Amino acid sequence: MTLVLNIFVDGIAYGMILFMISVGLSVTMGLMQVVNLAHGGFALLGGTFAHWLAQENGVPFWPATVLAVVATVVISLPLERIIFRRIYGFGDLQQVLATIGLTFLMIASINLWQGSSLLSIPLPETLKQSVDLGFRTLPVHRLVVIAVGFASILGLWVLMDRTLFGIRLRAAVDNRGTASSLGIDTDWIFMAAFGLGAGLAALGGILGAEILPIDAYYPVRYMVLFLIVVAVGGMGSIFGSFIAALGIGLLETATRYIVPDFATIVFFIFVIILLALRPQGLLGRVGA
């Protein structure tokens, strides 16, 4: 029973991190039909800024986090304007290649700036403390991650369901041509969605640094993981990403607890079986 609870708590925390990082990828893939292998780079950027602010300049954790997220968004917007906008029109393969090239540039930039070693982000004392859950003690950090994760899905839900931006975004995901013929400025929607996704990825990268440590090769190392979340959840589906991220977080945590030596293998085999049976993902639309 304790095992199940352990898997549950750790898996949910892990899943929340995956969700925050991947949801932007899912939306941009659904919206712009772009295969963006560089998305993990935004988590890396966020993590690196936070490291630089908190570790090297002594900025407290939360302000550092906010500043790092803002900085990442600020960088992502011109990137969308200048580079990604042109990539949308490419074929699958060209997109893969262009975004691999971008990933390499991001890695090289971080490498040049901060070197290739681990970039730790010091947690404040309040987050390091443990709480007693009865069956185990748990760092407050994990609970905060879970809370922020829930807050972001809730925030996204409100944004998508209750605001004009959300309605327009959903219209654009459903049918870009119709949306722009209705006078919706899809260019602006794309950029806003891209920036939002980059910001969430940065937040996920920073909060998840305890689980997925930050270093220059981060975007390549975890690329498959983020892509799996999108593919399993179904491209363009925010809720799908959420379910997929939690499921994958739980699955990977479970395999690590139960078959520690073969966790990666068992995990990937599960994913392959799932996607072979449902190539469009859990909540993806057939033919999308």
How far apart (Å, rounded) are the C-alpha atoms in residues 21 and 40? 7
DSSP H or E run through 68: helix 61-79
Closest CA to 76 of 200, 182, 178: 200
Yes or no: say if 112 and 59 are a contact pair by the CB < 8 Å rule.
Answer: no
Should residue 276 be labelled a site residue for another protein when binding is judged by CB under 8 A?
yes
Should residue 228 be labelled a site residue for another protein when binding is judged by CB under 8 A?
yes
- Interface residue with another protein among 12, 18, 35, 202 (CB under 8 A) is 35
- Interface residue with another protein among 7, 18, 102, 198 (CB under 8 A) is 102
Should residue 224 be labelled a site residue for another protein when binding is judged by CB under 8 A?
yes
Should residue 272 be labelled a site residue for another protein when binding is judged by CB under 8 A?
yes
Task: Tell me which stretch binds another protein (CB under 8 A): 41-49, 67-75, 184-192, 273-281.
Answer: 273-281
Token digits for 53? 């602010």
Report the DSSP beta bridge partners of residue 137: 132
What's the closest the beta carbon of residue 265 comes to another protein, in angstroms? Answer: 5
Count Cβ atoms below 10 Å from residue 277 Cβ, excluding itself: 7
User: With CB under 8 A, what is the number of residues at the site for another protein?
Assistant: 44
Yes or no: say if 49 and 68 are a contact pair by the CB < 8 Å rule.
Answer: yes
- Interface residue with another protein among 143, 220, 239, 250 (CB under 8 A) is 220
- Interface residue with another protein among 107, 119, 123, 193 (CB under 8 A) is 107
Count Cβ atoms below 10 Å from residue 99 Cβ, excluding itself: 23
Should residue 93 be labelled a site residue for another protein when binding is judged by CB under 8 A?
yes
Report the DSSP beta bridge partners of residue 158: none
Should residue 118 be labelled a site residue for another protein when binding is judged by CB under 8 A?
no
User: Helices 40-51 and 92-114: crossing angle, nearest 10°?
Assistant: 10
Mask 181-210, x = binds another protein (CB under 8 A)?
------------------------------
Task: Tell me which stretch binds another protein (CB under 8 A): 12-20, 65-73, 103-111, 149-157.
Answer: 103-111
How far apart (Å, rounded) are the C-alpha atoms in residues 77 and 72? 9
Should residue 112 be labelled a site residue for another protein when binding is judged by CB under 8 A?
yes
- Interface residue with another protein among 18, 21, 98, 243 (CB under 8 A) is 98
Q: How far is CA 76 from the centre of its chain?
A: 14
User: Helices 140-162 and 238-258: crossing angle, nearest 10°?
Assistant: 160
- Please return the burial class of 34, using the count of CB atoms within 10 Å of its CB with bins 0-12, 13-18 and 19+: buried
What's the closest the beta carbon of residue 238 comes to another protein, in angstroms? Answer: 17
- In the complex, the residues that contact another protein under the rule CB under 8 A are 29, 35, 83, 86, 90, 92-94, 96-98, 100-105, 107-109, 111-112, 116, 220, 223-224, 227-228, 230-231, 235, 261-262, 264-265, 268-269, 271-272, 275-276, 279-281
